[in-house]
Amino acid sequence: MSEKIAVIGAGSWGTTLADLLAKKGNAVTLWAYEPELVLEMQEKRENSLFLPGIRLSDNLAFTNDLAEAYAGCTMVLCVVPSQLVRRVMTNSLPFLPKDVIIVSASKGIEVDTLATVSEIYQEILPPEIYANFAALSGPSFAREVAQEMPTAVAAAAASEQVARRVQDAFTTSFFRVYRNEDVIGVELGGAIKNVIAIAAGISDGLGFGCNTRAALITRGLAEMTRLGVAMGAQAATFAGLAGMGDLVLTCTGDLSRNRSVGIQIGQGRQLAEILGEMRMVAEGVKTTESAYNLSKKLGVEMPIIEKMYQMLYQDKPAREAVLELMSRNLKAEGA
């Protein structure tokens, strides 16, 4: 069945998914915060700010008005940065139909509350709407999906019926969606991998090699899994698309914004200067602070996250942080 879908957030990922859904035959309205961006997309069928060079479907509508975006929708896809989810969705509440499916593709942990994205939705949505919540995550650079390169992701929902509905809505000949029931695991994988990607970028920027990157990916996965299990997630989830899959992509791919931030830090640039030049959000910067504080709150050992916090927020030199990681007390791999 075709859906009437409101896509909230016109960054590269929101625009890409809106275009995918529209080309599939759904009635899709893409909401953008910037009125000038809405006008450009209407006139030129292109998002030159966040997805330049990609022509957008003639079936895709654009608006700066939340009420217009939500009118008559059967499904909502929210793709705003994780630190803005609470504000945007609170403003959306008056316009949400009671039986709407809510799909989140935001990846992060709220800094002020340490809430995951699903926990934010659970706090602000009426129970009957939150029952239809799903999280979409996995290894998926927006530009590659926009260019219709084969991609696989996971849709997690407590309700299998909701997961199937999301799976049916998003799956195309090049975009394959797998169902999952572990919402917290899928969204934590999508959040924590961004922090490890900054670490991998720092390693690359320092001139370290493939050995170092492989160690960061593997031990980063161990930390991600420990935190997830402590929060009730299933360990197996982190071996899948939303865990290992997304982690490998973001730590190695040249299109990774988080890895790019890390490379520049490793090369000696200051974080504030790097972020000041970026139009798109590198979620891993804020998630580093959230994940560090969450690990302390739950008593979960996350040494890579701890060193990343010290580098980004306490100005610890990168080489010193690496030396401290390598000099920790010896232990068994599974400990």
- Annotated active-site residue 44? The verdict is no
Residue 279 scores a pLDDT above 90: no
- In the sheet that 75-78 helps form, which strands lie side by side, from edge to edge? 60-63, 27-31, 4-8, 75-78, 101-104, 133-137, 151-157, 175-180
Whole-number Å distance between alpha carbons of 160 and 50: 33
CATH architecture of the domain with range 4-181: 3-Layer(aba) Sandwich (3.40)
Q: What does the pLDDT read at residue 322?
A: 92
For residue 187, count other CB atoms closer than 10 A to its CB: 29
Q: What does the pLDDT read at residue 200?
A: 97
Q: What does the pLDDT read at residue 150?
A: 98
The continuous run of DSSP H or E covering 12 comes out as helix 12-23
Residue 1 scores a pLDDT above 80: no
SS3 84: helix
Of 198, 183, 196, 163, whose CA–CA distance to 116 is shortest?
183
Tell me if 4-181 shares its fold with 184-326.
Answer: no
3-class DSSP string for 145-163: HHCCCCEEEEEEECCHHHH
Of 188, 71, 183, whose CA–CA distance to 131 is shortest?
183
Classify the phi-psi angles of 72: left when phi > 0, otherwise alpha if psi is within -120 to 50, otherwise beta.
left
Q: What does the pLDDT read at residue 121?
A: 98
Active site residue: 4, 23, 98, 193, which one? Answer: 193
Residue 163 scores a pLDDT above 90: yes
Whole-number Å distance between alpha carbons of 244 and 155: 15
Structure confidence by residue, pLDDT tens digits, 310-320: 999 999 999 99
Residue 269 scores a pLDDT above 80: yes
Q: Which two tokens stand for residue 60?
A: 């895709």
Structure confidence by residue, pLDDT tens digits, 103-155: 999 999 999 999 999 999 999 999 999 999 999 999 999 999 999 999 999 99
Structure confidence by residue, pLDDT tens digits, 72-116: 999 999 999 999 999 999 999 999 999 999 999 999 999 999 999
Alpha helices in 231-317 (DSSP H): 246-252, 257-266, 271-276, 283-298, 303-313
Q: What does the pLDDT read at residue 114?
A: 98
Residue 281 scores a pLDDT above 90: no
**Which listed CATH number (3.20.20.210, 1.10.1040.10, 3.30.70.260, 3.40.50.1100) goes with 184-326?**
1.10.1040.10
Q: What is the pTM of this model?
A: 0.96
Q: Which residue has the tokens 């169902």?
A: 179
Average pLDDT on 40-54 reads: 97
Residue 334 scores a pLDDT above 90: no
Q: What does the pLDDT read at residue 76?
A: 98
Average pLDDT on 188-192 reads: 98
Domain residue ranges of the chain, discontinuous segments joined by +: 4-181, 184-326
